[in-house]
Structure 1
């Protein structure tokens, strides 16, 4: 499920939650709700293609990934994972769940 919410700075953000309610992908802040909704649509479209995911190891030796649009812009960032395998499982979860996920608005 995608959750749309407003952060403390008043920007709209989304997060994609797995069936176990863990956050698996989060967005940047958007000034308008419509921009946030467009971001969700971009995730749904781009999550179907494994080549749109960028797997990275951080300086603290944790793993994370970005989902990028066709133009190379990051549209979502994962949580930190302890292992590369965990991050790869996160990518698989986004690929399987994002395209058909429902969208709800929540209070943060």
Structure 2
């Protein structure tokens, strides 16, 4: 089964979910907790994340959308971003990079 990545608030994450990206928590500029991509979360992991004030995690979830639904969501995200970035100078590499990063995030 295909999967996709979703950024979920820690309050919605449960034991058994799999990290889709590394989870690194930092406090006062120091890494305090880390788990690798692909790690299956345990109750103890969730407790540690809460203790270290984690807020979100990138989780692998089953892809339940059809190809048409995915294409429509990408089209809608692109239209919205085009409106948001309408006055931005996308010939600037930093602006274009931000646009592409937000589009990738919204296309997940």
Q: TM-score, normalised by structure 2?
A: 0.24
Tell me which protein shows more strand as a share of its residues.
1
More helix by share: 2
* TM-score, with length taken from structure 1: 0.24
